Amino acid sequence: MNKLQQALYQNFGFHTFKKGQEKIIQSVLNGKDTIAMLPTGGGKSLCYQLPGYLLDGMVLIISPLLSLMEDQVQQLKALGEKRAAALNSMLSRNERNAILENIGRYKFLYLSPEALQSDYVLDRLKRVPISLFVIDEAHCISEWGHDFRPDYSKLGQLRKTLGHPPVLALTATATKNTLLDVMNLLDLQHADRHLYSVNRPNIALKVENAADTAEKIHRTVQLVEQLQGPGIVYCPTRKWAEELSAEIKAKTNSRSDFYHGGMESGDRILIQQQFINHQLDVICSTNAFGMGVDKADIRYVIHFHQPQTAEAFMQEIGRAGRDGKPSISILLRAPGDIELQQQIIQMEYLADHEISSILSILTATEERDEKKLRELLISHGVSETQARTIIHLFLSGKTSIELMTQELSHRMELKLDKMYHLSALLEQKSCLRESLLSYFSEAYKPDHTQNQCCSRCGIDLTAYEQKGEGNKMERFDNWRSELNRIFGLQSEGELC
């Protein structure tokens, strides 16, 4: 057992690395800027967590989602690591100040790219040595990426402000154009690159066509009842997540709930923990759920609508079967699906008169703090996604209606092109896995140890169905009854 394997076992209890992890970690320990692409479930977080124990100084992790940050912090704390924190909007002012005032105590600090725009946060970070600057979901840097975040594009300059620490840029799904953009924007021209296949051969891929939406609803309920869980049903909107969960509750014995960004953060964390701890059988969710969730035994993923991009589709697929056991992804398609996704994309676009009104708001204030500007626009009915993009353009000097219209139109066309590309890919008659991998410039190498590939190559769905009676626990009704169950209390009065 070499030194790295010893550290792996001592800190995480694992005897062996997953594919690619050891090479990526060695690159980081050698002080090299590193770009790594590992498939969903490939163990990206270990690639900075293990070096964190072997390097002096703080590991700073930039992450796009609150739920992702919280989950990673909870995983570290479960391993006994007390020097981990997430600096985000879920904290009270006192909690936030306590972290910043004692910032030298932390080994792992997670924060959003937006939080890093704060001069105060930057000032505190400058006071501690940063051994590694980690950018999770690095595809968010690139306009070619499927989830572009304007604040990610500033990370290259912010890294220099923090003393130019080594970078580890991580992603699960990125095309060649996206990776080149990441390298250029972060100035990583001499970085080590460790790029591994996005293919997950243990996950069978199935596409089913339905006559209409009603048939898709019926089929979703049927699949949830038949398939061995736990599972995730991905939905295009918050409303669909709620309605499908209610339908599953009403028509099956499965314990179902919904998850989306419109919920209170505490409710989202509760749902996530219930799912992780086997108190829920299926989650109906928008695509945010599942990123970083430490649940290896998800047996199926149902895509209720076609995702917007091949990258998003591959990420949703990859939430299943992280334990390497046979799992399945089922995409349900019906007439009108493309039009719905098209409308969702076009809703982010703003007409000239809307841009004019927003510019009037921005020019009428001397405020230039991005968070406060975002809150200002949201209070005027602008969506968070629109606000982020508009403020990014405004502060970068694109302050005319013409320039903003041109930029927003360009971004909308990029998204529509990706959506149409995936739709065309799904219409092909060849192997679905081969078609998906070709999008990422990968040649498909059939894995003959896996018996099931995709619906075009032939799938026996019975292999993924429940065998006998499932071990269903009692439904979770509310926090009081759950505490009663856990602690053996007899009455609500005993909780006071």
CA distance 275 to 208: 26
pLDDT band at 61 (very low <50, low <70, confident <90, very high): very high
Query: pLDDT (tens digit, 9 = 90+) per residue, 405-442?
Result: 888 888 888 889 999 999 999 998 889 999 999 999 88
CA distance 419 to 340: 11
Closest to 330 measured CA to CA, from 481, 180, 228: 228
Beta pairing, strands 167-171 & 34-37: parallel
CB within 8 Å of 48: residues ≥ 6 apart: 28, 59, 61, 132, 134, 168, 170
- Contact between 86 and 111 under an 8 Å Cβ cutoff? The reply is yes
- Contact between 303 and 331 under an 8 Å Cβ cutoff? The reply is yes
pTM of the model: 0.82
Residue 379's Cβ-count burial label (10 Å; 0-12, 13-18, 19+) is exposed
Query: pLDDT (tens digit, 9 = 90+) per residue, 89-104?
Result: 777 788 888 888 889 8
CA 330 to chain centre: 19
CA 162 to chain centre: 26
Structure tokens at 189: 């021209």
Could you count the other beta carbons within 10 Å of the beta carbon of residue 259? 26
CA distance 67 to 431: 35
Buried b (16+ CB within 10 A) or exposed e, 148-178: bbbbbbbbbebbeeeeebbbbbbbbbbbeeb
List Cα–Cα distances, 366 to 13, 359, 375, 427, in angstroms: 53, 13, 14, 52
Give the DSSP per-residue string, 4-28: HHHHHHHHH--SSPPTTHHHHHHHH
- Structure confidence at residue 478 (pLDDT): 53
Closest to 38 measured CA to CA, from 202, 200, 198: 198
* Phi/psi at 169 (5° precision): -100, 120
- Contact between 136 and 168 under an 8 Å Cβ cutoff? The reply is no
Structure tokens at 489: 């209390």
Among the ranges given (213-222, 232-241, 347-356), the one the predictor scored with the smallest mean pLDDT: 347-356
Domains of the chain plus CATH, in order, are 3-195 (3.40.50.300), 203-340+428-484 (3.40.50.300), 348-419 (no CATH)
CA distance 325 to 476: 28
- The answer on pLDDT for 496 being more than 70 is no
Q: Any idea what DSSP says for residue 463?
A: G
Query: pLDDT (tens digit, 9 = 90+) per residue, 290-342?
Result: 655 668 899 999 999 999 889 889 989 989 998 889 999 999 999 888 888 88
Output the furthest CA–CA distance in the chain (Å, rounded).
Answer: 67
* Phi/psi at 436 (5° precision): -65, -45
Query: pLDDT (tens digit, 9 = 90+) per residue, 29-46?
Result: 999 999 999 887 778 889
CA distance 43 to 20: 9
- Structure confidence at residue 178 (pLDDT): 87
Higher per-residue confidence, 113 vs 41: 113
- Contact between 455 and 205 under an 8 Å Cβ cutoff? The reply is yes
Buried b (16+ CB within 10 A) or exposed e, 327-354: bbbbbbbbeebeebbbeebeeebbeeee
Assign 3-state DSSP to the chain and report helix, strand, coil percentages, each to 5. Answer: 45, 15, 40
- Structure confidence at residue 385 (pLDDT): 77
CA distance 146 to 310: 9
